[in-house]
Amino acid sequence: MTTSIRSAALSLALLPFALLPLAQPATLPAQDSAPPVQITVDAAHPGAALNPAMFGIFFEDINFGADGGLYPELVKNRSFEFPEPLTGWHETMGISPKGIEASRGELGIHTDSPLNPSNPHYLHVRVYSPGYSFYNTGFRGMGIESGAEYRFSAYVRTTGPKSTRATIGAISVTITDDAGHEIGRGELKSFNSQWTRYETIIRATATSPHARLNLILDEPGQLDLDMVSLFPVDTFKHRPNGLRKDLVQLLADMHPGFLRFPGGCIVEGRLLATRYRWKNSIGDIAQRKTIINRWNDEFDYRPAPDYFQSFGLGFYEYFQLAEDIGAQPLPILNCGMACQFNSDETAALDQLDEYIKDALDLIEFANGPVTSPWGKIRAQLGHPEPFHLTMIGVGNEQWGPRYVERYKLFAAKLKTQHPEIRLVVAAGPAPSGEPFNSLWATWRDLHADIVDEHYYMAPDWFLTNTGRYDHYDRSGPKVFAGEYAAQTVGTTSSENRNNWKGAIAEAAFMTGLERNGDVVQMASYAPLLANVEAWQWKPDAIWFDNLHSYGTPNYYVQRVFASNVGTRIVPVAPQAESGLFTSATLDERSHELIVKAINNTPVTRPATLQLNGLNPTGTIRVTTLASADLNAENSFDHPTAVSPESSSLEVKSGTIPVQLLPYSVNVYRIPVR
Ligand code: AHR
């Protein structure tokens, strides 16, 4: 604790705690209500400052979170760069009365004179007789909504002998629903022998969760195609190459303080060759080189052989997203190490310059003037104003002496050239033991800025570790709880649930993060997104299919906390006792005292908020997130079964009676003007 909190705690000790009830038994007797409890808030002695933006978002392209999720391209393998280059593409076989018809054409993958060197493969189509068609099945089908517009586009060139070039004058495009009924139609035409991009807008006439895109050629001849795309026109903020609206809205509604991107292990890659390289993720989407997604074959029980990264959602889009949802950007960069759980490949120290230069250039890309080389690129992409980058992660979930050696080289350059940028360093994959302890000792010695701790632990771990940071060194590095989630069955178990039991344990733990907000600068739940038909990892904050999405109880815990953080820590007692967990902050911006009380017991707890040094009058804004059933979950059918409810309470004094429902998260915003 800081000195101010210590002294505040001391002053608390002098308060009339004799009024507090005696400590309750660890397990409450089975009954419908419990004896009243007093929650004493030392409102007169606010302590250290905390980061009002401390609760943010961890984003990674796992569970089809980007391609097949937030990035709403509907065509899978639009650039034919998957190792099986026809993945996602199929010929339509006509059925004649005598059986399957002979094909009217053929598809091939060619590489001569490609669209560009980053996109070396393309589709070569030969049509023998009219009516030849083929289709793309999207990411487990395509989500199409009635009345919505979709931009179909492709690079096309005619090929073959001059005599045949002129014959293919058009491509008809249809969208068909699950039953094969046409629900949209368009056409591209007037091709020539040079790669040229064509587009048309298709308005859908019906909704389908598993539609497909058909390309139909009615004249014999040959064509080359690349970057075949079907993209919703209505993206978040109508941005071209923008993001899926419903998912971004869920993120924006969280009021996240920061956005960590692009991961996660995806930063590291299974091999260094498949690490995330931000420079390959910006500019013309046709130039962004597709590579394997690290989660493609990570888990035998959930193989995803069709999981690749198109980088359509790249660093420019991440920065733009952060800005759009009011979050500070926190990019995590590869430090010269591939995933240590996989290949453990490490770049030699004398090869690190490229990695460090990537970091320096990223700072210039985000913050540099438009006259600087990378600032100019940012401006050309449409954002002359800086993105206000203040932090960078060096490595993701690394550990060991090789990591520290590489960090030192990064820090030497970055701290000299950009002392304004705080560096986030890793504490390994687990929250205790080795390598956690030795890494922490090193970070203290090196005066690291922020240490990223990860905990994928059982709900009970969260409940019994709410005091984890009470005794952390206040003069050492700050903490970023960069990845955490209660694992209701076991870490990475496919049986894990996003149920209220896990979520309320996280809420209890987060009161400890908040009470120690002078040390814990940031925290983010992980992973964020999961496609219900293509996930690899459970639990996740938000689940979606091709058309719908919903926040889990865990999501709503994050949302309630991120939307209710003050600017100063206020002493509160009891902090963690008999299933009751509390925190309090003062919001100097809105002039409100914010008290959180989590009741993790099956009974209603009558409580009194005793505000020492404060006699508020007026209206308290109350948020309650509760379910008497610890197994409760949200679903597509009941997306808000466990979700916050707002109410208000009139107060006339600093003694405020409240009722804490069974298994509830309660937030009280009390005016202190
Ligand atoms: O969140 C899933 C994974 O867990 C992250 O990619 C990694 O950093 C951690 O091991």
Same domain, 409 and 550: yes
Does the pLDDT value for residue 101 go beyond 80? no
Instruction: Say how far apart CA 335 and CA 394 lie, in whole Å.
Output: 6
Ligand 1 atom closest to residue 294's alpha carbon, by position in its atom list? 6
Tell me the two tokens of residue 394. Answer: 């060096």
User: How far lies 492's CA from each of 423, 532, 632, in Å?
Assistant: 28, 16, 20
The band of 18, judged by pLDDT with boundaries at 50, 70 and 90, is: very low
The band of 451, judged by pLDDT with boundaries at 50, 70 and 90, is: very high
Give exposure, 444-455, as e/b (b: 16+ Cβ within 10 Å): eeeebbbbbbbb
Of 564, 582, 615, at which residue does a domain stop?
Answer: 564
Highest mean pLDDT among 94-108, 147-161, 232-246: 232-246
The answer, yes or no, to whether any atom of ligand 1 lies below 6 A from the CB of 526, is yes
Tell me the two tokens of residue 240. Answer: 């071209």
> Going by CA atoms, what residue is nearest to atom 8 of ligand 1?
264
Same domain, 173 and 314: no
Residue 103, pLDDT score? 77
> H-helix or E-strand containing 320?
helix 315-324
> Going by CA atoms, what residue is nearest to atom 6 of ligand 1?
264
Is the Cβ–Cβ distance between 422 and 450 less than 8 Å?
Answer: yes
> Going by CA atoms, what residue is nearest to atom 5 of ligand 1?
264
Tell me the two tokens of residue 32. Answer: 């419908």
Instruction: Say how far apart CA 497 and CA 437 lie, in whole Å.
Output: 30
Is the Cβ–Cβ distance between 566 and 594 less than 8 Å?
Answer: yes
Residue 10, pLDDT score? 27
pLDDT digits (tens, 9 = 90+) for 141-180: 999 999 999 999 999 999 866 555 547 899 999 999 999 9
Same domain, 464 and 560: yes
Same domain, 604 and 626: yes
Q: Report if residue 643 sits inside a domain.
A: yes
Q: Report if residue 492 sits inside a domain.
A: yes
Dihedral angle of Cα 391, 469, 485, 665, to the nearest 10 degrees: -110
Instruction: Say how far apart CA 210 and CA 531 lie, in whole Å.
Output: 14
Q: Between 25 and 643, whose confidence is greater?
A: 643
Is the Cβ–Cβ distance between 187 and 267 less than 8 Å?
Answer: no
pLDDT digits (tens, 9 = 90+) for 552-577: 999 999 999 999 999 999 999 999 99
Q: Report if residue 83 sits inside a domain.
A: no
CATH code, domain carrying 611: 2.60.40.1180
Residue-range definition of the domain harbouring residue 198: 89-232
Please give the span between the terminal C-alpha atoms of the chain, in angstroms, as a whole number. Answer: 28
477 phi/psi in degrees, rounded to 5: -60, 155
Same domain, 258 and 222: no
Of 536, 564, 592, at which residue does a domain stop?
Answer: 564
Does the pLDDT value for residue 522 go beyond 70? yes
**Residue 237: which residues within 8 A CB-CB, separation 6 or more?**
324
Same domain, 252 and 158: no
CATH code, domain carrying 211: 2.60.120.260
Q: Report if residue 358 sits inside a domain.
A: no
Cβ atoms within 10 Å, residue 348: 7
| Closest to 267 (Cα-Cα) out of 339, 317, 206 | 339
Same domain, 549 and 598: no
pLDDT digits (tens, 9 = 90+) for 619-660: 999 999 999 999 999 999 999 999 999 999 999 999 999 999
**Three-class SS state of 460:** helix
Residue 392, pLDDT score? 98
Of 520, 543, 564, at which residue does a domain stop?
Answer: 564
Q: Report if residue 627 sits inside a domain.
A: yes
Same domain, 157 and 225: yes
State the pTM of this model: 0.94
Task: Scan for tokens 């000792």, then name that residue.
Answer: 441
Does the pLDDT value for residue 13 go beyond 60? no
Mean pLDDT calculated for residue range 290-308: 95
The band of 98, judged by pLDDT with boundaries at 50, 70 and 90, is: low
Mean pLDDT calculated for residue range 102-109: 89
Q: Report if residue 24 sits inside a domain.
A: no
Residue 100, pLDDT score? 62
The Å distance, Cα 443 to ligand 1 centre, comes to: 21
The answer, yes or no, to whether any atom of ligand 1 lies below 6 A from the CB of 439, is no
Q: What share of the chain is helix, strand, coil (3-state, %, to 5)?
A: 20, 30, 45
Candidate from 299, 453, 456 with most ligand 1 atoms within 8 A of CB, to mutate: 456
The Å distance, Cα 253 to ligand 1 centre, comes to: 24
Same domain, 126 and 190: yes
Q: Report if residue 489 sits inside a domain.
A: yes
The answer, yes or no, to whether any atom of ligand 1 lies below 6 A from the CB of 483, is yes
Is the Cβ–Cβ distance between 223 and 125 less than 8 Å?
Answer: yes
The answer, yes or no, to whether any atom of ligand 1 lies below 6 A from the CB of 262, is no
Same domain, 67 and 108: no
CATH code, domain carrying 557: 3.20.20.80
Does the pLDDT value for residue 7 go beyond 50? no
The Å distance, Cα 397 to ligand 1 centre, comes to: 8
Same domain, 549 and 622: no
Residue 578, pLDDT score? 95
Q: Report if residue 501 sits inside a domain.
A: yes
> Going by CA atoms, what residue is nearest to atom 3 of ligand 1?
264
Mean pLDDT calculated for residue range 430-458: 98
Tell me the two tokens of residue 50. Answer: 């905390």
Same domain, 164 and 186: yes
- Provide the domain count of the chain: 3
The reply to whether omega before 435 is within 30° of 0 (cis) is: yes
Q: Which residues pair with 308 in a beta bridge?
A: 292
Candidate from 537, 542, 554 with most ligand 1 atoms within 8 A of CB, to mutate: 537
Give exposure, 99-137, as e/b (b: 16+ Cβ within 10 Å): eeeebbbebeebeeebbeebbbbbbbbbbeeeebbbbbb
Instruction: Provide the annotated active-site residues.
Output: 397
